[in-house]
Amino acid sequence: MSRILRHTTRCILWMLLAPLSIAWAQEEETIPMSEVTDAGTQYADGIQVYDRFNERIGGDSLRYCNGRLCDGWVEDYHSNGKLKHRGYYAQGRLISVYFNYYESGQLEREFHTKGDNASEMTSYYSDGQVHSKIRYKNGEPLEWEEYYSNGKLEFQEVNHRSFEYHIVNKFFYESGLPQSEMVLVDKKKLIFDKREYYSDGKVQLEGQVRYSKDVSDYVKVGTWKAFDEKGAMVSEDQYDNDGRLKSKP
């Protein structure tokens, strides 16, 4: 008799709590309408509100449409009536392809899958200039480029497929001149050439680093030289293979 009573009690509690759980999930996971129809301040970094539903780039949220997980093509509109988002959903997640648009109608970003574990996203400034290009693998950026609004390259990063270390890591001034760079030159020893530059293109600092798996970071090795703005060397230091500065004789 007690087993029947316990079972009945559990059923009653489930019926009472289930609607609350469903409502809570929908409230937490559904995009607020203000974010869907109002541009607000999203344009500082683009329309990123939908990326949370894209598992391919690390999103972990689900989207509901009329109380159910979204399936198929879904469209959202700006308050001026122009298309803001068009994406293909499956069980509440964005899959395969989606597009976001500025209020002007200009494409803001586009996402496409390129196989089981690969995908690409390109974002644009409001004038149509490319803002960023990212190639993903297993939800992580494998190759990443960002551009200034004048079209000049601002940042370039190429990661090793293990995502432990970079193959290329470069930053640029808005003029297009290099600001810093780190490039893999010895794949076996994981040695990189590294340089930092003044805004006029002259070298400020140069040397080599080694990626240390022991500390999961890059350490200085060998000879490092520093230069003033006129190009004259102002210091020279030596580092051992573990990144320790050698004492000068």
Q: How many domains does the chain fold into?
A: 1
- Amino acid identity of residue 107, one-letter, is L
156 within domain boundaries? no
pTM of the model: 0.79
79 within domain boundaries? no
CATH number at residue 201: 2.40.128
pLDDT of residue 235: 96
178 within domain boundaries? yes
131 within domain boundaries? no
pLDDT of residue 237: 96
Give 75-118 pLDDT, tens digit per residue. 999 999 999 999 999 999 999 999 999 999 999 999 999 887 89
190 within domain boundaries? yes
The residue segments making up the domain with residue 192 are 165-249
61 within domain boundaries? no
pLDDT of residue 114: 87
- Identify whether the C-beta of residue 119 lies closer than 8 Å to the C-beta of residue 109: no
pLDDT of residue 44: 57
Q: Which helix (H) or strand (E) holds 207?
A: strand 203-212
Write out residues in the chain with pLDDT < 70, as ranges.
Answer: 1-45, 249
User: How many Å apart are CA 247 and CA 218, to the nearest integer?
Assistant: 21
pLDDT of residue 249: 62
pLDDT of residue 199: 98
165-177 b/e with 16+ CB inside 10 Å = b?
A: bbbebbbbbeeee
pLDDT of residue 117: 86
210 within domain boundaries? yes
pLDDT of residue 46: 75
- Alpha helices by DSSP H, listed for 32-181, are 33-37
| Range 217-221 contact pairs with CB under 8 angstroms and sequence separation of 24 or more | 218/165, 218/182, 218/192, 218/194, 219/243, 221/191
193 within domain boundaries? yes
